Structure 1
């Protein structure tokens, strides 16, 4: 496992599984390329998921002159954004408990408010981003039900909610605990001992991202381009000129002022996952969302925390047979035969299955900002010209990526951003944080496998 954690994830595999969200594909941008690569760009963005879209969108809104190219090693939006569960769901009560243990109360409150800001931010963006984007992307409010299947877990949820309401008095009443009777009679989860009930959001991320990218390509054709199937083989800095970075691809070299690294799963420490309700059974977390148009239920999870076999696997080409078996049975197990019905022999209810890659930081929160010299094997930049990153969402990209991208765009454009949409202090790349992460990594690499898993 230590070897896998240190190895370069490399380029994304060429034959990924196809997710439910990516069918049908958006042919307007799927394999789009310029006839020839631009020679120079103010900003080159590596990655065409939701963070890449956010950075692109906000840079075009903040400046009427910046030139931008978005590169992807595969088809547009073929990575994590096109493979997730479609939930814009901040598990606020549980997240506050988790982050308070790691960072203390003040920073934990910042993180949770930032996560909670995502639904409104994405909803308003989808309304403004072009005709029919909101309708096509199905951004909507949904109820969130986090079911637990033991009395011990229910008591733990109650303690978490009490602590949460003390820290967020303005949100008191937004979440509530329901007992076993209500979980069964109202929410139809026959085998639950109780649940935490609140609000969340849901969307069709692939449609949103590809639709808006197509709009940007059309509206800003003179200074914006999408370059699918164009992997960045290397990035190096040559001198201090206007465009000091060479972004090397099989199609040629683009000279850039800024390079933005947004290939979340290809940034190091990937973790594979099979991708509204949540079901927590022992240490296995599953989540599900139902499409309002197709009626399909999309389930994600099926993997125990810290499972060593999937750590450091940078491929979304294969499926985990144990996870697939688990996901095929979790809904009848949770809802019970009385609600789910009997399985029909020879007729599967699984319409599609796929894998994706999660990228985790060692301190459980994203890394956002300018790449410093300690993180590079080439000269670091400055505010005039630099390399930037937003990565390490740990499977919670839908309540992190969009506003991380907005913050990154504001950093590059040197425009302040305030309020709940401003970046939490814990997300910034600082010398202190880098030193702490290096110490954690050293402990991981020097530990036996079971101890290393606990640290991760």
Structure 2
């Protein structure tokens, strides 16, 4: 696989970004020129970068000089292109996590997702963030018997190992009742769990404005970082790293990589461990049969297909305006068009068509779409996937003063807030135990020296079989790509 390079210019506009053309952060540069030095430099202004800055600057003993560098506009990457979900996995990927990390860590990973939902709720309420935040429930809908069996096996293993389910997971195992509850004519069973939805770009912009206006954050947009090297011959600044941009260099004591899919460009050791993967999403104006009092009351992850050929799609319906955000349709294009693809400046028409056709086929009583109804816009976004399905969070084992929060595998809204809070504490000298984060998130040498793998699941990649594509994308010497076929159809 090639290095991911840098974010593409002139990316597509998501629904979230279309509604932010009045943002005062467009083209924002706190200072006209780059500072020569900083205490902490964060690379990337999505939810990871913004939340790390927020927790650093609002926590105890905040650093004096925090610099945030963004290659494009503020929050113009994966966070601004996702499905608007904050959707904890309450059981489904548990067997996969247990396989990789053992029972204790697997239980911590599942708990961390619920902790993230709670922390996100707390921050939105504490800061009075107007981001259309709505907290309620979501359905995991199995549209085939193989997925119904998978749901059941994952649930049972989680319960057998002591995972909490009472008051959290409601199972609807009768097919007719599942169809009535979900309004999906294809449902076989459904599992109902807590979740939230929101306008992700508004959340990040609020945090960035708070930090720039009240806490001295220096935000520099349209400033791609080209390289980071250990600082040499620098005296009097306390700098440990030289951050090189098109607009000059910055000497910084600490550097934080909130670079997700593009991480391996600046940190080559992550090639083969964080993968770019392109997704596509749409805006749907529903017909009257799914509007007003007929709106969907939950968000959805919809799993379909059989065995290793399974897929999943996801949707939310926004209470504020009734608009549906619907994404997925990975079955519509060959996987080699998605794996390793960092071009979010275009969309695939066949993917858009598949998304357009899906809702009338899937939901009972959708009916004919009038002029102006149905899919009205589509966009793409680049996600960062990892071998084990969990992110890299912590200090880099061989680079003192360098930290990472990346590789959220299309599931960042259900992980980032707690990861950012924990990492901010570590950056300030706290120990890992105090963060409450799973130990397996750390970017250890052991994780980075394992053979590179592609673990594909409908939960985040929507593919369970990519063998035919692997050889075309992974020509890195002795490292052998291993396709591991796993798991679940929820979506962030």
Give TM-score scaled by structure 2 length.
Answer: 0.82
Contact 1:306–1:453, Cα closer than 8 Å, also in 2: no
Structure 2 partner of 1:253: 249
In 2 relative to 1, CA 102–306 (structure 1 residues): closer, same or farther, beyond 3 Å? farther
SS of 2:340's equivalent? Answer: coil
Query: How far apart, in 2, do the equivalents of 1:228 and 1:104 lie?
Result: 41
Structure 2 residue 448 is the aligned partner of structure 1 residue 434: yes
How far apart, CA to CA, are the structure 2 residues paired with 1:343 and 1:440? 39
Instruction: Write the mapping of 1:204-219 to structure 2, written as runs, cut at 5 A.
Output: 204-219=199-214
Q: For 1:81-120, what aligned pairs fall within 5 Å after superposition?
A: 81-120=79-118
Residue 59 of structure 1 deviates from its aligned partner by 0.8
* Structure-2 change in CA distance of 1:265 and 1:57 (3 Å): same
Compare the two structures and name the one with the higher helix fraction. 1
Tell me, yes or no, if structure 1 residue 271 matches structure 2 residue 298.
Answer: no
Q: In 1, distance between residues paired with 2:103 and 2:171?
A: 23
1:343 aligned residue: 369
d(CA) in 1 for partners of 2:405, 2:37: 23
Partner of 2:73: 75
Separation (CA, whole Å) in 2 of partners of 1:80 and 1:128: 25
Gaps of 5+ in 1: 374-379
Q: Deviations over 1:33-61 (max 9, x none)?
A: 12111121101100001111111011112
Distance 1:79 1:430 in 2: 26
Residue 147 of structure 1 contacts residue 195 of structure 1 at CA under 8 Å; is this kept in 2? yes
- After TM superposition, the structure 1 stretch with the greater mean CA deviation from structure 2, 236-245 or 188-197, is 236-245
Q: CA 1:440–1:333 in structure 2 vs 1: closer, same or farther (change >3 Å)?
A: closer
Tell me what 2:168 maps to. Answer: 174
Separation in 2, partners of 1:65, 1:448 = 46
Alpha-carbon distance in structure 1 between the residues aligned to 2:15 and 2:221: 20
Determine if contact 1:158/1:177 at 8 Å carries over to the other structure: no
DSSP-derived class of the 1:394 partner: coil
How much has 1:334 moved relative to structure 2?
Answer: 1.4
CA distance in 2, matches of 1:194, 1:284: 16
Work out whether 1:46 is the aligned partner of 2:49. no
Which of residues 352, 368, 379 in structure 1 aligns to 2:393?
Answer: 368
Q: CA deviation at 1:449?
A: 5.8
Residue 113 of structure 1 deviates from its aligned partner by: 0.7
- Shift in Å, 1:169: 5.0
Alignment RMSD (CA, Å): 2.5
1:454 corresponds in structure 2 to 483
Any stretches of 5+ residues in structure 2 without a counterpart?
265-274, 282-298, 456-466, 474-479, 486-492
| Secondary structure at 1:27 match in 2 | coil
- Alignment correspondent of 1:31: 27
Could you say what secondary structure the match of 2:312 adopts?
Answer: strand
Q: Is the 8 A contact 1:137 1:207 kept in 2?
A: yes
C-alpha separation in 2, matches of 1:323 and 1:358: 17
Query: What does residue 362 of structure 2 align with?
Result: 334
For residue 58 of structure 1, what is the aligned residue in structure 2?
Answer: 55
| Deviation of the 1:128 alpha carbon | 2.1
Q: Distance in 2 between matches of 1:277 and 1:445?
A: 30
1:48/1:71 contact within 8 Å kept: yes
Shift, 1:308, TM fit = 2.5
Task: Go from structure 1 to structure 2 and tell me whether the alpha carbon gap of 1:329 and 1:453 turns closer, same or farther (over 3 Å shift).
Answer: farther
Shift of 1:427: 0.9
Change (3 A) 1:159 1:65: closer
TM-score, normalised with respect to structure 1: 0.88
Q: Which residue matches 1:262?
A: 258
User: What's 1:202 paired with?
Assistant: 197
Q: 1:434 to 1:446 in 2, by over 3 A?
A: farther
SS of 1:164 mapped into structure 2: helix
* Counterpart in the other structure of 1:377: none
Shift in Å at residue 191 of structure 1?
Answer: 2.1
